[in-house]
Structure 1
Amino acid sequence: MTRHEVYDAVVAGGGPAGAVAALVLARAGRRVAIVDDPPAPAGGAHKVGESLPSAAAPLLRDLGLWPDGTAAPHLRSTGMYVSWGSPALYERSPVQDPYGAGWQLDRLRFDAFLREAAHAAGAEPLRGQAVDAVDDGPGLRLLVRQEHGTRELGCAWAVDATGRRAALARRRAVRRRQDRLVAVHVLLPRQDPAVGGQSDREARTVVEAVPGGWWYTTLTPVGRIVAHLTDPDIADPRLRTPDGFLRAALHTRYIGARLTAGDLSGPPAPRWSAAHGMRLAPYAGPGWIAAGDAALAFDPLSSQGILTALHSGARAGLAAALCLAGAPPRPVLASYTDFLDGIDAAYVRHHAEAYAAETRWPELPFWQRRGPVREPADVHT
C-alpha cells in the first residue's frame, strides 16, 4: 500500500455527478482528482439511465457545457407513449414540458464528455475504484483499489459519487432504500438499412404497466433499449436468458410491437441493474459530501436521475470548494441538505401519485408493495 500526495479534494466516481463536482472544484482553483474506472467502449456496450430532461439545459449552459454536451449523436426526445392505469396507449408530447423536448443519450459518450471537461479544467484522472475513506485528522485517507494493489490518497475533502453503493459514505451515514426494484435490460443494436436491416425510427419512449411490474423501450444513438422493471423475488427466471427475455417482451401489448424484425435474431444476454429509490442520511459530514445516486437515487419512472446527478454534483463541488476556501462547513452543508431534501420530497410525492394511478392489479405483489407510502428500509452493510 503506497501513500500518494495530498489533494485538496478527491472525487470518487466519474459519472455525471462526479465529473461535474470535479469540474466545479477544478475551476475554483483546487487540486482535485477523479478516481474512476470507466468501461471501455465495446460493441453493444451501454449504460441505462439514458433520458435527460430539457430542464438540464440551463445548468449545462451555466457550466459551459452547452450545446456540445447534448449535440449529435444524442437524440432529441420526440415524446412518450404510456399505457398506465388503462389498457389504452396515450401520448405525452414534449410540448407539455415547459422546457421543451429533452434528449435520449448515449450514456457512455455523455459521461466521457463530462469527464473530459473536468480533465480539461485541471482535474487529474486516476484509474481505480474507491473502496473506503478513513479519518486521518485533519482530512481523509481514501483507499483506492487499482490493478496492482491498493493506493492511498490524502485529501481535505472527498466527494462520494460512487452510486448506490456509497463507498465512502456508507460507514458515515444510513442508506434508506425505498424498495427492491431492479431493471432487467438489453440493448438491441440499430439495424442498418444499407445492409438489409430494418430502420428503427420510432424515437418516442413507450412505457407499459403489466401485472408484475412495468416495461419501457426507447431509441438511443447506440440502439434500442428494452427494459423490464420488477422486484427480484417475483421476477420470472426466464428473463435471465436472451430468448426468455425476448419472449416476455413480445408478450406485452405495446413494447413488443416496437421491436423490428432485426431485433428478433440473436438478442444479447439481459443485464440486471439496481433501480430502487434510495436516500442517504445525512448527505454530508466533516470532510465528505455525497452526490448523485450516492446521495439520492430514483426509480427510473421519474426520468430525473441524470438531472439530479448534474445538479447535486455541481452543488457538492461548490460546497466543498467553499469549505476549502474557509467558509464554515455547518451552514454550507445545511444549505446542501435543504436543497436535496426539497428534491427528495418532490420525488416521493410524485412517485406515490404515479404508482397510485395504476389500479388494475392491486392484489398482486408488485403493485401492492407500492400502495400507501411506507417507511423506507435502512440498508446495512
Structure 2
Amino acid sequence: MPCEQADIVVIGGGPAGAAAALTLRRHAPHLRVVLFDAGRHELAKPGEILPAAAQGLLRQLGVWAPFLAATFVESRAVISSWGNEALDERPSIFSAHGAGWQLDRARFDRLMVQAASDAGVEVRLGTPVRSAVREGEGWSLELTDGKIIASAVIWATGRSWKLARSLGAKLRVHGHLAAYTRFFDGVPGDCRMVIEARPEGWWYSADLPGERRAVSCLTDPDLGSELRDPKSWYHVLAATQFIAPLLPQGARETAASVNSAGTATIDPAAGHRWIAAGDCLFCADPLSSRGIVHALRSGILAAYAASDIIDGRGELARTRYAMIASQGFADYIPALAAHYAAAAQWDTAFWQRRRLRSEQQPATDTHQENMQRSGFRRSLGKGGTG
C-alpha cells in the first residue's frame, strides 16, 4: 500500500477546512499541506446567510475577489414571524456592516476549495480518510488507496465525527434538531429570507442564485420523520402563513435533503497533534447564525494552532485553543433556550421541550441578558441560518 508524508493534513473541505488550509499557506508556506474531502461539493445544500461582517475574514483569506465574482444573492432583509403572528422585518440597510449574502453552499464550498488549491494546497476531493492511528509523534491516516503520515491534523469534517474514537475525542450532544429541505427552480427572488415559527417547529425560505429557492422545516428528528415523504412535507407547508405563498405555481422541485441541525461539541477541542475546527468542533442551532462565520474563524485559529504544534509549542497551542473554544460556547445553551422560549406559544411536543429547557436554565439570567451576551438578540436580523 503506497505511503506518503505531509506536514499538516486537513480532513474536510468545507469552509473551516478550506480556511485552515488557506491560512497555513499564508502563515507557513514552507509546510506541505494536503486537504482531503470525502465528497466533491456536488450535492445541493440548504441556503445560508453569510453576514456582511464576514467580509473581513474573506479578505484575510484572500478570497474576496473570487467571492464577489460568484455573484451570490445579496441579503437585503430578514422577515420573521417569531412569537406572534406579526411580521418583523429587519432591513440590512440598518446594519452597521450593510447587506450580507444568501449563499449557494455547494458553490461557496467549491470556491473556497479552489482558492486553497490555487494557493498551493494539495486538494484531493472524493477521498475519505477512513481511520487515524498514532504513529510516532504524528498520525497515520488510512485512505482508500493508501495512507499518509501527518505531523499534525486539522479535523474539519463538519457534522461527521467518525474519527472521534481514533483521535481520542468524545462527542457531546446538547440538543437535537433536523432540517427537512427542498430546493426549487423558477422562483424569482426578492433578496429576503423569511422565517416562521409553527406548531411543528419553524420554517425558513431563502433565495439562491439563478431564481432558485431553498425551503426548510426544522423540527426534532423524532417528530419530523414523516417529513421525509413529499406528501407530508407539502401538507405541512400548506399550513404556513408566510412560507407557502413564496412558492409560485410554476416552481419546480429539483432536490431534497435531510440534515442534522442540532447542537453538539467535541471534547477536547484539541488533542495530541490534532485540532478540531468548524462544525466538527462546535455545531450550533441555525438560529444562532454562527455557522459559516464560526467555521471560517475556527479554521483560521486551528491553522495557527497546528503551526505552533509543528514548531514544538503543542501544549500552549492546545490550551489556548481550548480556552477560545470554551468561551464561544459559555453562554450559548441558556441563550438558545431563552430564544426558543420567546416563541413557545403552542402546546406541542417541539415547544414543550423548549419551554422545559428554558425553565432548567439558571433563574438569574434574564431572556434579554442571555440574548445580548451570546449574540441572539439580532440573530434573525443577521441571518438565521448563517
TM-score range, shorter chain: 0.7 to 0.9
SS of the equivalent of 1:353 reads helix
Q: Aligned partners of 1:155, 1:260: CA distance in 2, in Å? A: 52
Q: Does 1:14 align with 2:4?
A: no
Structure 2 residue identity aligned to 1:155: A
- Aligned CA RMSD, in angstroms, stands at 1.9
Alpha carbons 2:204, 2:243 under 8 Å: kept? yes
Structure-2 residue corresponding to 1:200: 188
CA contact (8 A) 1:241 1:270 kept: no
Contact 1:14 1:111 in 2 (8 A): yes
Structure-1 separation of matches of 2:338 and 2:217: 21
1:36 matched residue in structure 2: 37
Q: Secondary structure of 1:245's match?
A: helix
* 1:300 CA displacement: 1.2
Partner of 2:128: 129
Q: Which residues of 2 match residues 116-155 of structure 1 at below 5 A?
A: 116-127=114-125, 128-144=127-143, 146=144, 150-155=145-150
The aligned residue for residue 214 of structure 2 is 225
User: What SS does structure 1 have at the residue aligned with 2:62?
Assistant: coil
- Aligned residue for 1:367? 351
TM-score normalised according to structure 2 size: 0.86
**Residue 314 of structure 1 aligns with which residue?**
300
Residue 168 of structure 1 and its aligned partner are, at CA, apart by 2.8
Matched length: 354
CA distance in 2: counterparts of 1:349 and 1:98, whole angstroms: 27
| Matching of residue 348 in structure 1 with residue 326 in structure 2 | no
Give how far 1:49 is off: 5.0
Amino acid at match of 1:366: F
State the Cα deviation string for residues 107-126 of structure 1 (Å, max 9, x = none).
11111111111112211122
Structure 2 counterpart of 1:157 = 152
Aligned to 1:276: 262
5+ residue gaps in structure 2? 362-386
Q: Tell me if structure 2 keeps the 8 A contact 1:81–1:92.
A: yes
Question: Does the Cα contact within 8 Å between 2:104 and 2:208 map onto a contact in 1?
Answer: yes
Q: Is the 8 A contact 1:82 1:207 kept in 2?
A: yes
The 2-side partners of 1:354 and 1:96 are apart by 22
Q: Secondary structure at the match of 2:20?
A: helix
| Selected match of 1:299 from 271, 285, 300 | 285
Taking the aligned partners of 1:125 and 1:220, their CA distance within structure 2 comes to 27
Q: 1:245 maps to what in 2?
A: 233
Counterpart residue identity of residue 158, structure 1: V
Q: Deviations over 1:178-236 (max 9, x none)?
A: 222100001101x2xxxxxxx51322111111111110001011510000001121126
Work out which of the residue numbers 203, 212, 226 in structure 2 matches 1:215: 203
Q: Does 1:358 align with 2:343?
A: yes
Residues 28-60 of structure 1, C-alpha deviations (whole Å, 9 max, x = no match): 12101111133364xxx4212521111211111
Pairing of 1:37-186 with structure 2 (within 5 A): 37-39=38-40, 41=42, 45-127=43-125, 128-144=127-143, 146=144, 150-171=145-166, 172-186=168-182
> What is the CA distance between 1:3 and its match in structure 2?
3.9
CA contact (8 A) 1:53 1:304 kept: no
CA contact (8 A) 2:207 2:214 kept: yes
Distance in 2 (alpha carbons) for counterparts of 1:70 and 1:367: 40
Contact 2:8–2:153 (CA under 8 A) maintained in structure 1: yes
Whole-Å Cα distance in 1 between the matches of residues 307 and 290 of structure 2?
26
Contact kept in structure 1, 2:13 and 2:35, CA below 8 Å: yes
Take 1:161 and 1:316, find their aligned partners in 2: how far apart are those partners? 10
Equivalent residue letter for 1:121: A
Counterparts of 2:136 and 2:41, CA distance in 1 = 37
Quick one: structure 1 residues 72 and 7, their matched pair in 2 at CA, closer, same or farther if it must change by over 3 Å?
Answer: closer
Rounded to whole Å, the distance in 1 between the matches of 2:255 and 2:208 is: 18
Q: Which amino acid aligns with 1:275?
A: A
How big is each residue's C-alpha offset from its partner over 1:57-114, in whole Å with a ceiling of 9 and x where there is no partner?
Answer: 1111122222432444201101111111001111122244332211111211111111
Conserved in 1, the CA contact under 8 Å of 2:41 and 2:110? no
For the structure 1 residues 66 and 270, does the alpha-carbon distance in structure 2 shift closer, same or farther, using more than 3 Å as the test? closer
CA distance in 2, matches of 1:284, 1:236: 35
Residue identity opposite 1:54 in structure 2: A
Q: Secondary structure at the match of 2:99?
A: coil
1:16–1:309: 8 Å Cα contact kept in structure 2?
yes
SS at match of 2:189: coil
Partner of 1:194 in structure 2? none
Structure 1, residues 227-247: CA drift from partner, whole Å, max 9, x if none?
A: 00011211261x223333223
**SS in structure 2 at match of 1:162:** coil
The separation in 1 between residues aligned to 2:225 and 2:278, in whole angstroms, is 30
* Structure-1 residue corresponding to 2:319: 334
Contact 2:154 2:274 in 1 (8 A): yes
**For the Cα contact (< 8 Å) 1:242–1:268, is it kept in 2?**
no
